């Protein structure tokens, strides 16, 4: 176990590449007795902190209750997040764990979460993001972080709750995937995990979560990412209720326009500048692939990265949202069961999603990936 006193800097701690154990007294000093709340979620509140040397951090204090879920999740976060590093993942500095308090100490993201730039009408936020090109780069960076979690970690990490609120932005608006509060590990060779109970956020969760006792694969994150792409495309929430209680669901609008060959018209209506419209069409195509009903049909995140980078020509996607257009859950179940018999971690052909005879840009993660292979620190 690595421990530090107040004289140590966070930079010194990070050289150990393992989570650092702090005391409750240190955390109270970092947060000025928890005086500034940055946000809150299902597992606790997040406070602004500052180390004694001035380095900012975010302290997530977990709720304590009588069941084991919070404690198990805390340990999972420390073990998995603490020994992974990627430029598009939020870095875990350390933790606190004793009889009365459990907390996680993360790097601080100055520009907050993506949702406040997509959904807020604040002109300052809109001006901060500026060109839609920045949003496209946020989508690409997020995809790279997810590809690392799914395909580059020693143990595959399924996030289960990809959404704009869990994409944080640093000083340069580079994205970092955050909140592994719903993360669950499975071996890379294990294609599916069995779930009991609903996970994720309604509106982003994959349709297989609605099926009783159905094995869930990492492709549930791909579906959520597709829903995130729609919101980046439109700079709006996917679901709006009109004055007459009519439902305006943006993903279905995108498919309808695509099917009619009128996607560019929709992109123009979203206010996307002319120089970025080709990329916007590409993003819309990728989103439609990601939200296919069957997990097998959805591309892996490494493939999504290739598609977004523009190095391949994307094949026309099939019609998505069958579960919403008169196709009942048992039909989806049948399709998915057929997929699960043949689905393996390495058995998918990239040609399912793009033409092989086009130029391919290599996937570059833009940073050296470090995985601690040492002993568990928790």
pLDDT for res 250: 97
Q: What is the CA radius of gyration of the chain?
A: 21
pLDDT for res 340: 43
Query: Which of the following is catalytic: 5, 67, 98, 161?
Result: 161
* Of 151-155, 236-240, 345-349, 373-377, minimum mean pLDDT range: 373-377
DSSP state of 252: H
Rounded distance between C-alpha atoms, residue 374 and residue 83, angstroms: 9
pLDDT for res 153: 86
Of 110, 201, 216, 191, nearest in space to 162 by CA: 201
Q: Are the C-beta atoms of 156 and 187 separated by less than 8 Å?
A: yes
Active site residue 161: yes
Q: Does the reported pTM lie above 0.85?
A: no
Give ranges for CATH 3.30.200.20 in the chain: 10-108
pLDDT for res 62: 79
- In CATH, the number for domain 115-352 is 1.10.510.10
Domain 10-108 has CATH 3.30.200.20: yes
Give ranges for CATH 1.10.510.10 in the chain: 115-352
Of 177, 179, 186, 191, nearest in space to 157 by CA: 186
Q: Summarize pLDDT for 4-39 with one digit per residue, the tens.
A: 454 454 555 555 567 888 999 999 999 999 999 998
Q: Summarize pLDDT for 172-183 with one digit per residue, the tens.
A: 999 999 986 445
Q: Summarize pLDDT for 71-94 with one digit per residue, the tens.
A: 666 666 677 678 788 999 999 898
Across the chain, mean pLDDT equals: 80
Residue environment code for 7-43, b if the CB has 16+ CB neighbours within 10 A, otherwise e: eeebeebbeeebbbbbebebbbbbbeebeeebeebeb
pLDDT > 70 fraction of the chain, expressed in percent and rounded: 70
Checking if the pLDDT of 372 tops 90, the result is no
Q: Summarize pLDDT for 252-283 with one digit per residue, the tens.
A: 999 999 999 999 999 999 999 999 999 999 99
- pLDDT class for 102, splitting at 50, 70, 90? confident
């Amino acid at each position: 176990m690595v421990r530090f006193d107040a004289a140590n800097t966070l930079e010194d701690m990070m050289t150990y590449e393992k989570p650092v154990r702090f005391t409750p007294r240190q955390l109270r000093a970092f947060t000025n007795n928890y005086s500034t709340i940055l946000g809150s979620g299902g597992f606790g509140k997040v406070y602004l902190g500052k180390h004694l040397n001035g380095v900012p951090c975010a302290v997530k204090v977990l709720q304590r209750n009588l069941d084991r879920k919070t404690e198990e999740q805390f340990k999972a976060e420390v073990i998995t997040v603490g020994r992974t590093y990627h430029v598009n993942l939020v870095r875990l500095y350390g933790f606190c764990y004793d009889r009365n308090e459990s907390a996680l100490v993360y790097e601080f993201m100055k520009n907050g979460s993506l949702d406040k730039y997509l959904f807020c009408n604040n002109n300052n936020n809109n001006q901060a993001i500026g060109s839609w090109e920045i949003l496209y780069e946020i989508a690409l960076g997020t995809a790279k972080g997810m590809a690392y979690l799914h395909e580059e970690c020693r143990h595959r990490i399924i996030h289960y709750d990809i959404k704009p609120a869990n994409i944080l932005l640093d000083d340069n608006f580079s994205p970092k995937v955050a909140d592994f509060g719903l993360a669950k590990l499975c071996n890379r060779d294990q294609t599916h995990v069995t779930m009991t109970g609903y996970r994720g956020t309604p509106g982003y969760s994959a349709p297989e979560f609605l099926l009783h006792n159905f094995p869930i694969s990492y492709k549930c994150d791909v579906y959520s990412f597709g829903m995130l792409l729609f919101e980046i495309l439109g700079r709006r929430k996917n679901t709006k209720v009109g004055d007459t209680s009519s439902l305006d669901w943006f993903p279905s609008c995108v498919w309808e326009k695509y099917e009619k060959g009128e996607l560019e018209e929709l992109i123009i209506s979203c206010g996307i500048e002319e120089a970025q419209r080709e990329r916007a069409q590409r993003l819309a195509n990728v989103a439609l692939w990601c939200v296919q009903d069957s997990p097998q049909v959805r591309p892996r995140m490494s493939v999504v990265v290739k598609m977004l980078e523009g190095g391949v020509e994307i094949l026309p996607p099939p019609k998505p949202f069958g579960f919403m257009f008169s196709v009942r859950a048992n039909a989806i179940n049948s399709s998915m069961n057929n997929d699960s018999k043949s689905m393996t971690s390495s058995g998918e052909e990239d040609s399912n999603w793009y033409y092989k005879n086009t130029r391919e840009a290599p996937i570059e993660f833009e940073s050296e990936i470090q995985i601690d292979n040492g002993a568990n620190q928790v």
